[in-house]
Amino acid sequence: MIEVEARLYATFGTRAATAVPGEPVRVTLPDGATVADLLAHFALRPDEVRILLVNGRSQPLNHPLTRGDRVALFPPIGGG
């Protein structure tokens, strides 16, 4: 098992019971888990995510996560 830190921004903050938008949520996943697995943990579809960063770098959905990774998830944000 690995533990990663996820930060859910804007409307994604409601996807975890203990989440506060932008604050870290610790998530335990099986070894070999990918970014797609983390999205599934939060019941997020890939098309809902506009920006996805692992340790500050954009990564694809099949990117393998490792212990201690920091993942930031942003929805599309509108505004003027």
For the stretch 22-73, pLDDT in tens is: 678 999 999 999 999 999 999 999 999 999 999 999 999 999 999 999 999 9
CATH annotation of 2-69: 3.10.20
Distance CA 12, CA 39 (A): 11
- Show me where the domains of the chain are located: 2-69
pLDDT digits (tens, 9 = 90+) for 33-44: 999 999 999 999
pTM confidence score: 0.88
β-strands 57-58, 24-29 pairing:
unpaired
Strand pairing class (70-74; 2-8): parallel
